[in-house]
Amino acid sequence: MTDALTALDADTRTDEDGMLVERFRAGDEAAFDALVRRNQDRVYGLLWRMLGNREDALETAQDTFVRAYRGIDGFRAEARFSTWVYGIALNLARNRLRDRSRKGRDRGVSLETLETDAPGAMPATTADCPRAAAEQGELEAALAACLEHLPETLRGAFALRVFEGLAYDEIADAMECPRGTVKSRLNDARRRLAECLERRGVLGRDAA
């Protein structure tokens, strides 16, 4: 039942986004503002996980919607607007990561500088159990650090699947690759993350 409701909600969002796209194409500028408001949090969340810090994620999210605004004619009506925007965001994130590499800069996340209000962070429902809260925080910090060291293609696939909840076909559309490649990237990402978490001592071999 939960899966069915999730799919229904996604279809509803797709219909609403599609109507907004058509209104924007017809000259309604306010419709694009609505598209941004509906999708900006998810785009920022993806970019935070790809780039590892608030500043780069915010700048790249802004660039993403500028590109979407200018390139709306390239959006196919049968696709989901959110998936199309994810694809733009991933391409821009890839360019920024490569620029960092060329300049020898690493502005990614670390255990010392991890933002406590990161997208998707677990809510503070363990306040009555300090040990559980500490363990949860340690796991989230370690996962963020391990994600940083994944190749960008694996990181993107994992973030879209686990944090954004996209289906395999949607990830394939966003990343412009076959569905089988998505599954392979996800398997590789999970394996590497489990190994990384084991090395950091926050995931036992039995849990992996």
Which domains does the chain carry? Answer: 2-199 (1.10.1740.10)
Cα-Cα-Cα-Cα dihedral of 46, 51, 56, 59, to 10°?
-40
pLDDT (average), residues 39-55: 94
Question: Which of the pair, 99 or 43, is modelled with greater confidence?
Answer: 43
The structure tokens 């925080």 sit at: 137
Dump pLDDT digits (tens) for 128-176: 555 555 566 778 888 888 998 999 999 999 999 999 999 999 999 999 9
Is the pLDDT at 73 greater than 50? The verdict is yes
Q: Is the pTM of this model over 0.85?
A: no
Instruction: Round the average pLDDT of the chain to a whole number and report it.
Output: 82
Is the pLDDT at 106 greater than 60? The verdict is no
